[in-house]
Amino acid sequence: MDEPLSKSQQRLRGRKLVEMTDDELLEWIDACEKMERGVSAAKARRSWKQSGQNAHEELKRRRMNETEWLACCDPGPMLEFLGDKVSDRKRRLFACACCRRIQHFFSDERSLKAVEVAELYADGLKDRVHLIGARDEARDVKRQFRANYAERQFLEPADAVVLRAAGAAQDVTRDTGMSAAINCYCETSRAMNMEDTNDCNPAELRQQALLVQCIFGNPFKPAFLDPSWLRCNDDTVVKLARGIYDEQAFDRLHILANALEATGCSDTEILDHCRIPGPHFRGCWVIDLLLGKN
Ligand SMILES: [Zn+2]
C-alpha cells in the first residue's frame, strides 16, 4: 500500500494523544480512519481503529460542557478536563480523599500513615523526605502482604481488596498530585468491588466524582469572593472555616452557610455547596476560597 498519510499526519506518529492540540487530534483521527481502511491485517486494523477511538475520547474530554461536568460519574475525564488548570495540592488531596474512603481496609497502620503524610505534604507541612519515607513504608506493607500469600495460586477476594487498599496507600505518595490522583481513584474504586478484578466499582466512581466537585468546584463558574464577608462579625466566617479545615469537621458546613448569609453573601454556588451533605473533604473549594488556599 502506498503511504496514505500526509506529511503532517506522519509527524503525529508516536506522539501522545494528551500532548496533541485539538487540530492535531482531528488530523490523527483522519489518519487512523485512512489507515484502518488501507491495511489488510485484521490486527493492524483493530489497532488503528482503537487509536482513532482514543483520539475521539480525548477530544470529548477536552470539550466537556457544564452539564456533562455536573453529571459526570467518573473522576478520570474530570481530572483530564481540569488538566494543569488546578494545583498539585488539590489533586493530591483528592487522592487522599479516595484513600480515606477505604481506610477501613488497611491492614497495617503504615498505610494510614502514608495518607496522613500525603495530606500534610499537600499543605506544605511535611517535606519530600517524609513523603518518600512514607512511600517506602507503604510499599513494605504491600510487599509483606504479597509475600504472605506468595505460595497460593490466587488471592481470596477479601485479600485482593486489602492488597488494593495497600497499593492505593502507596500511590497516594507518588511524586506528583496528578499521578497520585489517577492511580488512587482507580485502585480504591477497584478495591470497592470486593473482589480481585480490574473493574472499577461504578457506585464508588460516582462518589469520587462528587469529591472532584467538592475539591475543584465548578470550572464553568469561577468562584467569587467578596473580601467584606471575611471581615464581617469579627472574622466569624474565617474562624469557622479554619476550624472546619483543621478539625476536618465538614458537618459544620451548614453553620458556615448561615454565617456567610449573615455577612450578606447570597452566592448560591457557595451556599448550596455548604448545604449539600457531601462528600466533603480537605481541599473543599468553599473552605479553600475563604482561607485563601489553592
Ligand atoms: Zn465540599
All three cell numbers of 39, joined, read 491495511
CA of 151 to the centre of ligand 1 (A): 45
239 and 205 housed in the same domain: no
Ligand 1 centroid distance, CA of 143 (Å): 35
**Looking at 191, 215, 239, which one is the last position of a domain?**
215
Given this model, what pLDDT does residue 151 score? 67
Does 202 lie in the same domain as 161? yes
Last residue of a domain, one of 195, 215, 235: 215
Residue 159: its pLDDT value, please? 83
Between CA 64 and CA 67 the distance in angstroms is 8
Residue 208 lies in a domain: yes
Alpha-carbon separation of residue 228 from 2, 9, 84, 265, 284 (angstroms): 69, 55, 30, 9, 21
Ligand 1 mean position to 77 CA, how many Å? 20
Measure 187 CA to ligand 1 centroid, in angstroms. Answer: 23
pLDDT tens, the chain, 294 aa long: 557 899 999 999 989 888 898 889 999 999 999 999 988 899 999 999 999 999 988 887 778 899 999 999 999 999 988 988 899 999 999 999 999 999 999 999 999 999 999 999 999 999 999 999 999 999 999 998 888 777 666 777 788 889 999 999 999 999 999 999 999 999 999 999 877 678 899 999 999 999 999 999 999 998 889 999 998 888 899 999 999 999 999 999 999 999 999 999 999 999 999 999 889 999 999 999 999 999
| Residue 77 identity | P
On whether both 275 and 167 belong to a single domain, the answer is no
Residue 278 CA to ligand 1 center (angstroms) comes to 6
Instruction: Tell me, in angstroms, the distance from the centre of ligand 1 to residue 270's CA.
Output: 9
CA distance 128 to 137: 14
User: Number of structural domains, the chain?
Assistant: 3
Collapsing DSSP to helix, strand or coil, 290 comes out as helix
pLDDT at position 232 = 84
Task: State the CB neighbour count (10 A cutoff) for residue 22.
Answer: 11
Question: According to the model, what pLDDT value does residue 1 have?
Answer: 53
Instruction: Tell me, in angstroms, the distance from the centre of ligand 1 to residue 129's CA.
Output: 30
Q: Note the pTM of the prediction, 2 decimals.
A: 0.81
C-alpha 82/C-alpha 98 separation (Å) is 18
The pLDDT value given to residue 196:
65
CA of 168 to the centre of ligand 1 (A): 22
Same domain, 175 and 199: yes
Confirm if 270 and 289 have CB atoms less than 8 A apart.
yes
Q: Say whether both 91 and 27 belong to one domain.
A: no
Domain boundary residue among 170, 189, 215?
A: 215
Compute the distance from residue 289 Cα to the ligand 1 centre, in Å. Answer: 11
Same domain, 95 and 210: yes
Which residues, 6 or more positions from 43, have their beta carbon under 8 angstroms from its beta carbon?
none
Q: Which residue has the cell 458537618?
A: 251
Domain that holds residue 12: 7-63
Q: How many angstroms separate the alpha carbon of residue 88 from the centre of ligand 1?
A: 18
Cell numbers linked to 179: 499521578
| Å from CA of 56 to ligand 1 middle | 32
Centre of ligand 1 to C-alpha 285, Å, is: 6
